[in-house]
Amino acid sequence: MNRVVVTGLGCITPIGSSVSAFRDALFTGGSGISPIVNVPDAPDGNPGVRYTQAAQVFDFDPTEHLESGVITATNRNTQFAIVAARQASEQSGLLNHHNAGDIAVIMGCACGGRSSEESEVKNLYTRNARAHPLTIVRTMSSAGASNISIDLKITGPTLDISTACASATHAIGLAFHMVRSGMVTAALTGGHEAPLSWGFYRAWDSMRVVSPSKCRPFAADRDGMTLGEGAAMLVIETLESAMARNAPIYAEVVGFGMSADANHITQPQAHGASAAMRKALADAQAAPEEVGYINAHGTGTQANDATEAAAIHQVFGERTAHIPISSTKALHGHSIGASGALEALATTVALHEGRLPQTAGVSNPDTSLNLDIITGEPRPTGPTLALSNSLAFGGLNAVIALRTWRNPG
Amino acid sequence: MDDIAQRCISIIAKAKNIPADTITLDTTFEELNVDSLDKINISFEVEEAFEIAIPDDALGSLKTVGDVVRGVEQLVATKAS
């Protein structure tokens, strides 16, 4: 089996539309959460919900990157996807060194072109208007994967995975297995979402899980999640190809585990999450003692954070209190299907730099969880093994394991 | 050039993101690199602008900008009568 490494990174996120900007915000705690503005179709741009904050991308102008025909035929999430994929591809030099048919494009996106769909439905329901002829291609969830393949002329296996908040982690894990097995020599993988539409805001409001203030994962006074948008992409490839072409290596992908709670559509179960973490470790042929960082799903809801903490205790036992943990959702919000990709990017950057990001804005961790939550400042780390958890509604769990890369000799 | 022609050219120019003054009635869709998706898109915008319905079988026979304008003129006249 091939060893698999990360050789390219790209992102459009609420904390930066380049990897260097994302990295700076990650370590300075520069939050991308801010007052909700300009919600399309909502009266005065105001969604009329109990919460006021979201993690929005403000510095993205598609006309700076894409031809008008592509802009017309795509929703914002796909535009994020194309641009982030270009960044990762260019950084890695992917296309100059792999056959187009030996590269996979494996994306996570659960919400598709939601805002385009809502606009058309609004026009239909309010004035019996005809739907724009590009509605279908704008709204299909696989549009991001398709447009990346078209834009970069990649002809290998290309698909979208939709598993709610675990979509991108499932995507990265599957891409990792495809490269490891030799089905392809490289993959562009990650996730993208731009779901912040009026109806989306209102639907989440009704679920009563969004923080009226700001997401504070694992804090004693946590009161919910903060919705977000964005895209993050990784280029992964065989270690052999990366070494042969002297590519930059940011981390090694070593394991992937997944499970289903098979219990409840919203209430998470610790046994499901712990099973996914154990499977990721087994897949990595690693012992729990090797884990030196967990990038938690950490949504900031009472239910998620308590259940995730219980799951971590199930896997790591007495050592749990000594494993540094953070949730970067405090910075970039919860971008649903893309979230796992933003967190995989954060984990990769953390391992590459030997610094673990803090859970920004949290000064009073919930001591009853008995976890080592990183607060205040980033924490230095030596080479280590990290897990990135994604625990989705519907009980779908995905965990990837990444290791610090050190050049031999 | 009459109003219908001007408006059709303006719609096509916008759809292809090119200056309207580069388009004449003799310009072909092939020259403008109009693909099947562009054609559907342009037809939709033309239908919205003139409040007409272009029949499916008419779409395939449109080869030039002039074809579009003549078709619209006919449909607008039919609507008025």
Kindly report, residue by residue over A354-396, the tens digit of the pLDDT.
999 999 999 999 999 999 999 999 999 999 999 999 999 999 9
A67 in reach of chain B (CB within 8 A): yes
Residue where one domain finishes, among candidates A192, A220, A244: A244
**pLDDT for res A8:** 98
Interface predicted TM-score of the whole assembly (ipTM), two decimals = 0.79
Question: Would you call A352 a catalytic residue per the annotation?
Answer: no
pLDDT for residue A409: 63
Picking from A66, A72, A74 by the largest number of B CB atoms within 10 A of its own CB, the best residue to mutate is: A72
pLDDT of residue A68: 85
Annotated active-site residue A109? The verdict is no
Please tell me whether residues A154 and A184 are part of one structural domain.
Answer: yes
Residue of A nearest to B38 (CA): A69
Q: What is the DSSP string of A241-305?
A: HHHHTT----EEEEEEEEEE--S-SSS--HHHHHHHHHHHHHHTT--GGGEEEEE----S-HHHH
What pLDDT, on a 0 to 100 scale, did the predictor assign at position A133? 92
Structure tokens that stand for A278 in this block: 């154990």
φ, ψ for residue A35, nearest 5 deg? -55, 140
Q: Which CATH number fits domain B3-80: 3.40.350.10, 2.40.50.140, 1.10.1200.10, 1.10.760.10?
A: 1.10.1200.10
Average pLDDT over residues A211-220: 96
Among A97, A98, A170, A334, the active-site one is A334
Helix, strand, coil shares of chain A, percent, nearest 5, are 40, 25, 35
B43·A72 Cβ contact <8 A: no
Residue A344 inside a domain? The answer is yes
A152 and A24 housed in the same domain: yes
Residue A205 banded pLDDT, cuts 50, 70, 90:
very high
Query: Tokens 């089996």 correspond to what residue?
Result: A1
Residues of A in contact with B15 (CB under 8 A): 72
B58 pLDDT higher than 90: no
So what's the pLDDT on residue A38? 87
List of residues 6+ apart from A61 with CB closer than 8 A: none
Are the beta carbons of B43 and A133 separated by less than 8 Å?
yes
Residues A208 and A284 in one domain: no
**Could you tell me if A279 and A383 lie in one domain?**
yes
The confidence score (pLDDT) of residue A253 equals 98
Q: Are the C-beta atoms of A393 and A266 separated by less than 8 Å? A: yes
Name the residue of chain B whose CA is nearest to A132's CA. B44
| Residue B57 confidence (pLDDT) above 90 | no
The distance of A31 to chain B (nearest Cα, Å) reads 37
Residue B32 gets which letter from DSSP?
Answer: T
Q: Which residues pair with A325 in a beta bridge?
A: A294, A373
Window B:10-29, CB contacts with A under 8 Å: 15-17
Residue B44 has its nearest CB partner, among A67, A69, A132, at A132
- pLDDT higher than 90, residue B59: no
Mean pLDDT, residues A211-231 taken together: 97
> Do A269 and A211 fall within a single domain?
no
- Within a domain: A159: yes
Render pLDDT for B25-43 as a digit per residue (tens, 0 to 9): 999 999 999 988 888 899 9
- Confidence (pLDDT) at A69: 87
Interface of A with B in 126-145 (CB under 8 A): 130, 132-134, 137
Answer yes or no: is A166 within a domain: yes
Residues of chain B contacting residue A67, judged by C-beta atoms under 8 Å apart: 17
% of chain B beyond a pLDDT of 70: 99
Query: How many structural domains does chain A have?
Result: 2
Inter-chain CB proximity A134 and B48 less than 8 Å: no
Of A11, A109, A111, A165, which one is the catalytic site residue?
A165
pLDDT digits (tens, 9 = 90+) for A88-119: 999 999 999 999 999 999 999 999 999 999 99
Distance between B81 CA and the closest CA of chain A, angstroms = 24
By Cβ distance, the residue of B16, B17, B44 closest to A133 is: B44
Mark yes or no for CB contact B44/A67 under 8 Å: no
CATH code for the domain in which residue A397 is found: 3.40.47.10
Range of the domain at A161: 4-244
Q: Please, are residues A261 and A268 in contact by the beta-carbon 8 Å criterion?
A: yes
Q: Where are the domains of chain B?
A: 3-80
Structure tokens at B20: 């309207």
A312-349 per-position pLDDT tens digit = 999 999 999 999 999 999 999 999 999 999 999 999 99
Q: Which of A166-170, A297-301, A378-382, B61-65 has the lowest mean pLDDT?
A: B61-65
Residues from chain B contacting residue A116 (CB–CB below 8 Å): none
* Same structural domain, A70 and A216: yes
Average pLDDT of chain A, as a whole number: 97
The pLDDT tens digits of the residues spanning A6-64 come to 999 999 999 999 999 999 999 999 999 999 998 988 999 999 999 999 999 999 999 99
Q: Across the interface, do A133 and B40 touch by the CB < 8 Å criterion?
A: yes
A297 is catalytic: yes
Q: Give the residue from chain A lying closest to B41, CA to CA.
A: A133
CB contact under 8 A, A134 and B37: yes
> How many CB atoms sit inside 10 A of residue A172's CB?
35
**Where is the domain boundary, A244, A263, A294?**
A244
How far is the C-alpha of A169 from the C-alpha of A229, rounded, in Å? 16
